[in-house]
Amino acid sequence: MRIFKGVGLGLTLVGLAGCGPRLTDSGVLNYASTGYDKRLYDQPPKILGSLRGVDVVVEYKCSDICPNHTVRIIRFELPNGMTCNEAGGRYTYFELPPFSMQPEGGYCVPAVLLDNWDQYVK
């Protein structure tokens, strides 16, 4: 019985530590460099994993001619009180379809994506 309690506690702690695998800069860049299915525009944001302890999220934005104008955004989900710089990111704006909203200041994106923007398939 003690083994099962320990396993349950371990699973709980893993769930609190992040909602996906540990990512590396090269892994995030590799993911961002691949094509994607533009029909995913109606999916909710998804956690890809954790980069330096901060969740990396992928979401799809489309507002008018979907799915043709779908834009993929890969960004940090900043914990309360953490700055984008502390997470290892920088703010940027995406060219989104008309009527799509961006947060004030843009999205906090892993710096590796901005440093290799030409490889990022948006």
pTM over 0.85: no
pLDDT along the chain (122 residues), means of 10: 39 46 96 94 95 97 88 96 97 88 92 91 74
Give the per-residue SS3 of the chain.
Answer: CHHHHHHHHHHHHHHHHCCCCEECHHHHHHHHCCCCCHHHHHCCCEEEEEECCEEEEEEEECCCCCCCCCEEEEEECCCCCCCHHHHCEEEECCCCCCCCCCCCCCEEEEHHHHHCHHHCCC
